[in-house]
């Protein structure tokens, strides 16, 4: 009986853990005075043919930028904005993580709390979009 309980608990835990899951995203919670944050996760676009990404939106922030982290010649980590539109070949997978490419969230419009689920969408030139949820952690 005890074994069953432990087993079901660990299964539940695996299901709820969004890390490394495709199309699952996390947003860093930030203190009240901070208006920017960052989103991580793995995005596997569902495009069937090459598509142009023209915008990224997330609830409660004014702006989302696609950033790359790079080490400069003085060994300082710097962030570089990747300009949209961005060509998205079918079958591509993008990993947004603390050490590399990430989604920079700017202009927070209200307080976000751990556990909040913020709708996140990737918008293509055709007007089509892919919508997901990002969990505040
Ligand atoms: Cu950044």
Gap from CA of 46 to ligand 1 centroid (Å) = 25
Band the pLDDT of 20: cuts 50, 70, 90: low
The total domain count for the chain is 1
CATH code for position 75: 2.60.40.1890
Band the pLDDT of 21: cuts 50, 70, 90: confident
For residue 115, being part of any structural domain is answered with yes
Query: Cα–Cα distance between 54 and 103 in angstroms, integer?
Result: 14
Gap from CA of 50 to ligand 1 centroid (Å) = 26
Query: Cα–Cα distance between 105 and 28 in angstroms, integer?
Result: 10
* Listed residue (62, 55, 68, 69) closest to 37, CA to CA: 62
Q: How far from 67 is each of 2, 31, 79, 84, 111, CA to CA, in Å? A: 47, 22, 6, 11, 23
pLDDT 10s digits, 25-69: 999 999 989 999 999 999 999 999 999 999 999 999 999 999 999
Gap from CA of 103 to ligand 1 centroid (Å) = 7
Query: Cα–Cα distance between 65 and 36 in angstroms, integer?
Result: 11
For residue 14, being part of any structural domain is answered with no
For residue 45, being part of any structural domain is answered with yes
| Three-state SS at 2 | helix
Gap from CA of 108 to ligand 1 centroid (Å) = 15
State which residues form the domain around 59.
20-136
Q: Which residues surround ligand 1, an ion (CB under 5 A)?
A: 67, 79, 104
């Amino acid at each position: 009986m005890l074994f069953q309980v432990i087993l079901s608990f660990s299964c539940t835990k695996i299901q709820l853990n969004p890390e490394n899951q495709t199309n699952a995203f996390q947003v860093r919670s930030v203190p009240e005075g901070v208006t920017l944050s960052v989103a991580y996760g793995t995005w596997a676009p569902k495009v069937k043919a090459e598509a142009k990404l023209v915008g990224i939106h997330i609830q409660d922030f004014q702006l989302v930028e696609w950033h790359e982290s790079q080490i400069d010649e003085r060994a300082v980590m710097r962030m570089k904005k990747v300009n949209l539109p961005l060509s998205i070949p079918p079958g591509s997978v993008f990993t947004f993580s603390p050490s590399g490419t990430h989604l920079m969230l700017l202009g927070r419009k209200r307080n976000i709390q751990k556990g909040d689920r913020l709708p996140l969408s990737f918008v293509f030139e055709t007007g089509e979009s892919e919508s997901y949820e990002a969990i505040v952690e």
